[in-house]
Amino acid sequence: MTDAEGTLQIVFNGEIYNYKELRRELQGRGHRFRTATDTEVILEAYREWGVECIARLNGMFAIGLFDARTNRLVLARDRAGEKPLFYRTGGRTLTFASELKALFADPACPRTMDIEALDFYLAFGYVPGERCLVQGIRKLPQGHVLVFDLTSGAMRTWPYWTLPPKTAGADAPDDELLDELDALLASSVRLRLIADVPVGVMLSGGIDSSLVTAMAVRASSRPVKTFTVTFPGHAGFDEAPFARAVAAHFGTDHVEMPAEPASMDLLPELARQYDEPIADSSIVPTYLVSRLIRREATVALGGDGGDELFGGYPHHGWV
């Protein structure tokens, strides 16, 4: 998208959850809008606040913004790094994309493996931080901004957000912390339900997805659609009874979908989707689940990340 004056251009992958509030604030400052999109809000926010506008965005995003007035490129990635962003530099050129395979469309892009990054993959099961499995390519770290001057070739990268430090003094009472957590979860789910496409919840019956379902029911004025994938013939892995109980408790519009058998033919498809390898076997059922849900909902909320945030696995306590 280009702004009305033709001096700012943006490519944007993601969603800004607080764009309506930002739009109202910008309108109060005299900005005029041609569309109802969150993309245009980013453009006008940049015009008003410059690069500092990124810290005002609540969402998941990878952004590339070109400012013709200063001949500079601004790249930014969301706080948790939900949206990927790869880039490579050479002289006064910077190439970037939200998928590694897109960079390979450039014949000049190297295709040599980074052996040190391979070591990290073999140790951890993924390539961490700003490293990439391909030499000469980097990932913009989560919560970071990159500014590239096309005139001089100078580049600067810095974090616009980091995890808050532990506050000094006595810990807050449990009741206060629970109330704060309740408010954060409710707000998080409510914002993600704002969409112009059908939304559902991936419900396993576990704590995380059940909490998301509870918050979605609280925030929605119409029945919430929940989805569970069943595994016929594999009762030990089938979470359908638990999900069914949660769905009945909250009165959701519940759909059970039998999983399709997975075959080795799926692996090349996943390799193309993920670009860099990731040693997590759950990507297979997640892909199958997503393909099933896509028939009825375009956006599906889930409980992924809860175990990492709240120390849900035994190895988190050990660490």
Structural domains in the chain, sorted by start: 8-159 (3.60.20.10), 174-318 (3.40.50.620)
Strands (E), the chain: 8-16, 59-67, 72-77, 86-90, 93-97, 138-139, 144-149, 155-159, 199-202, 225-230, 253-258, 299-301
Q: Using DSSP bridges, classify how beta strands 155-159 and 144-149 pair: parallel, antiparallel or unpaired.
A: antiparallel
| Helices and strands, counts by H and E, the chain | 11, 12
Dihedral of CA atoms 296, 297, 303, 304 in degrees, nearest 10, equals 100
Q: Cα separation of 133 and 112, whole Å?
A: 9
85 exposure class (CB count in 10 Å sphere: 0-12, 13-18, 19+): buried
State the pLDDT at residue 34: 95
Q: State residue 253 phi and psi, 5-degree precision.
A: -85, 95
State the pLDDT at residue 245: 96
Q: At what angle do helices 207-219 and 240-250 cross, to 10 degrees?
A: 20
DSSP 298: S
How far is residue 67 from each of residues 15, 150, 233, measured CA to CA in Å?
A: 21, 10, 58
- Listed as ranges, residues in the chain with pLDDT below 70 are none
Q: Cα separation of 290 and 297, whole Å?
A: 9
State the pLDDT at residue 85: 97
Q: At what angle do helices 266-274 and 283-293 cross, to 10 degrees?
A: 90
Within 115-166, residue ranges assigned H as helices are: 115-124
State the pLDDT at residue 188: 92
Q: Cα separation of 237 and 240, whole Å?
A: 9
By the 8 A CB rule, do 91 and 101 touch? no
Q: Cα separation of 259 and 232, whole Å?
A: 8
Q: Cα separation of 240 and 205, whole Å?
A: 8
Nearest to 275 by CA among 108, 87, 84: 84
State the pLDDT at residue 156: 97
Q: At what angle do helices 38-49 and 19-28 cross, to 10 degrees?
A: 50
State the pLDDT at residue 73: 98
Give 223-247 pLDDT, tens digit per residue: 899 998 888 777 777 888 999 999 9
